[in-house]
Structure 1
Amino acid sequence: MAESHSQSPTPCDNHQNHEQVGGFDWMVLVAAILCAFVCALGLNTMLQCAFQCVGRVLTEPMQWIASRRLNSGIKKKEMVALPTSTYSHSGSPSSASSCVICLTEFTNGEQIRFLPKCNHHFHVLCIDKWLLSHSSCPTCRHLTQV
C-alpha cells in the first residue's frame, strides 16, 4: 500500500514553476526592460536638448552674444549719473507711490531715482542693485540710457 502513494506537486512547487522557467525569473527581466526603456527616453530627451542648444549657438552666435551683452548691467559711473530726487507726496493718483522692486511705499523725504527714458521711479538702493545686473527698466523693460 505504501507503493500506491504517488508524489503530487505541492502548491509551492507549482507556483515556483510559473515564475521561473528553466531557472529564469521573468519578473526581473520585465523590470530590467522597463528600466532600460525609461533610461533610453531620458537619454533621448537630454540629447535632443543638447543638439538644439548647440544648433542655436552655431546658427545665431552673434545675435545671442549681442542680446546677452545688451542687458548685462550698466557701469557704476553711469548708474550714479542717473537723476535722483526727494519724494514728496503730490496727491496725484497717476503718480507711482511705491517701488516695484521692493514693493514698499515711498515716504516723504526719501531719495528716489528715476530712469530718464521711461520716467519710472524706484528707491535708490533698489534700482542701483538692479542696474548692476540689468540694463533695462524693471517695469517696462526699456533699455536705460544715460
Structure 2
Amino acid sequence: MSFLIAQRCVLVVIVISFFLGVVNGSITVVGRSPALSFDDSEALFGPQIKEAHGTLLVARPLDACSPLKNLLVDSSTSHFALIIRGGCSFQTKVRMAQAAGFDMAIVYNDKSGKWLLIMEGDTENIEIPAIFISLKSGETLMDYAGQTGVDVTITANYYVQDGFTLKGVEKVIIAALLTVSVASICILLILCVMFVRDSRELPTHVLAPVRMGRRSVRAMPCVVYNPAVDPNGTNNTCVICLEDYARGEKLRLLPCNHKFHVQCIDKWLTNEQSFCPICKHDARKKKKNPPVSASNPILPPPIVVTPANIGFTCFIPFWNYQSSTNHASSSHTLQRGPSPNHGFVDSAPPLNLPV
C-alpha cells in the first residue's frame, strides 16, 4: 500500500513539473484594451529569451517550409513571424524566418488542445529564438497580426543569468534533476508520515518484546518423556531445535500443554518472547491443567490429613481412588470402625469401592 501511494505521488509530481517546465513564458498583446496574454513554450534550440518587444507578422507561406515571401529590411523595430506547425521540422521553419529577416519565430499548434510542445532539434546556424503556443492562441494572434499600433511582448517566467548558456540537453537534464529532487522529498515526507502512523497502531508486543524472568520460567512444571505411551504422536520433536525427544528426557510443559526441551524453551522465554512458539499463547497466562494420565505423569496433590477428632485417621477423596490405577488389587476398601486412638466412632460395615 505504501509503495502504491508513493508511486502515485511521484507520477503527480512529474506531471506537475512537466507542465511547470513547459509553460515557461507568456505573450502579451499590447495596444488593445484589455491586453491579451497567452502561455508559450520556449524551444530547446536558439538563444534564450528574457524579454522582447516587436510587431507580429504572418509568415507567407504560413507553414514556412519554403523561403518566405515577406522579406524584411533592416529596421529598428523587431518583427516576429507567426507560423503554423506541420509540413516540415521546427528547425526549418525557424531558419526560414531567420533568412527572411525576422527576429523571432512564433509557431502555433495545428491541433486543438492545451498541451504545449517543446521544440527541439539541431541548433546549428540558428540565431533567433523560437516559442511554441497553442492553436487557440495562434488563431487569436492571427487577428492582430500586421495591425498598426499593436505590438507583442514576449516575457520569460524564468531564465539563466548572462554569461551562462544552456543547450537543449542541459535544460532537459536540469529539469529531470529538479523533478527527481522534488519527487524524492515528497516520497520521504510520505514515508515519514506513514511510519509515525503505523508506529502508533502497532501492538505493544511488536514494539517492545515481552520476556519472562528466570524464576517464572523455572516455576513451570516439567514432565518426563516416554515414547512408549504415544509412539505415533505428533509431539515427539522440539520445534525450537528440531531434535527428537529421548526416553526419560525432562521437558518443560507450558500452560497451553505444549512441551519443549528445557534448555530450548527457557532460552526462548527469557531472551525472545513470552508466548508459545507453536500456538502463540502467552506463557504468563494460566490455562486449565492438563488431564492426569500416563503420558503426562504429573503427581496429584498431596493427601490431606484431617484432625483426629473427626473420627477418621485420614480422609481420601473418592476421585483420588479413581486416579490410582497402578495398585495390584482390583478394589479398595474404606474401613469405618474403631479408631486406634479415639475409640469407636461408627460401626457401619466396610464400603467396597470398585476401581
TM-score, normalised relative to structure 2:
0.30
Deviations 1:33-57 (A, max 9, x none): 3343334333323322322343456
Bigger Cα Rg: 2
The residue that corresponds to 1:50 in the other structure is 192
The residue that corresponds to 2:217 in the other structure is 79
Shift of residue 23, structure 1, vs aligned partner? 4.5
The residue that corresponds to 1:33 in the other structure is 175
Query: Compared with structure 1, are the counterparts of its residues 17 and 123 closer, same or farther at alpha carbon in structure 2 (3 Å cutoff)?
Result: farther
Q: Give the one of 250, 254, 257 matched to 1:115.
A: 254
Once the two structures are aligned, what percentage of the paired residues are identical? 28
Q: Distance in 2 between matches of 1:106 and 1:17?
A: 85
Q: Distance in 2 between matches of 1:28 and 1:125?
A: 67
Q: Which has the higher helix share?
A: 1
Structure 2 residue ranges without an equivalent (≥5) = 1-121, 130-163, 287-355
The residue that corresponds to 1:8 in the other structure is none
Query: Compared with structure 1, are the counterparts of its residues 30 and 78 closer, same or farther at alpha carbon in structure 2 (3 Å cutoff)?
Result: same
Any runs of at least 4 consecutive aligned residues in structure 1 with deviations exceeding 6 A, and if so which? none
Query: Compared with structure 1, are the counterparts of its residues 30 and 73 closer, same or farther at alpha carbon in structure 2 (3 Å cutoff)?
Result: same
Q: Distance in 2 between matches of 1:32 and 1:125?
A: 63
Q: Distance in 2 between matches of 1:41 and 1:107?
A: 61
Tell me which amino acid in the other structure corresponds to 1:120.
H
Query: Compared with structure 1, are the counterparts of its residues 57 and 94 closer, same or farther at alpha carbon in structure 2 (3 Å cutoff)?
Result: same
Q: Give the one of 105, 112, 134 matched to 2:273.
A: 134
Shift of residue 129, structure 1, vs aligned partner? 1.8
Shift of residue 113, structure 1, vs aligned partner? 1.3
Q: Distance in 2 between matches of 1:43 and 1:112?
A: 55
Q: Distance in 2 between matches of 1:32 and 1:127?
A: 60
Q: Distance in 2 between matches of 1:53 and 1:42?
A: 16
Deviations 1:91-113 (A, max 9, x none): 43234111112222222233321
Tell me which amino acid in the other structure corresponds to 1:27.
V
The residue that corresponds to 2:298 in the other structure is none
The residue that corresponds to 2:21 in the other structure is none
Q: Distance in 1 between matches of 2:263 and 2:183?
A: 48
Deviations 1:60-83 (A, max 9, x none): 6xx8447756x5111111011112
Query: Which structure ranks higher in relative contact order (CA pairs < 8 Å, sequence separation ≥ 6)?
Result: 1
Q: Distance in 2 between matches of 1:134 and 1:66?
A: 9
The residue that corresponds to 1:88 in the other structure is 226
Tell me which amino acid in the other structure corresponds to 1:76.
R
The residue that corresponds to 1:98 in the other structure is 237
The residue that corresponds to 1:11 in the other structure is none
Tell me which amino acid in the other structure corresponds to 1:128.
D
Q: Which has the higher strand share?
A: 2
Q: Distance in 1 between matches of 2:215 and 2:174?
A: 62
Tell me which amino acid in the other structure corresponds to 2:190.
Q
User: SS of 2:231's equivalent?
Assistant: coil
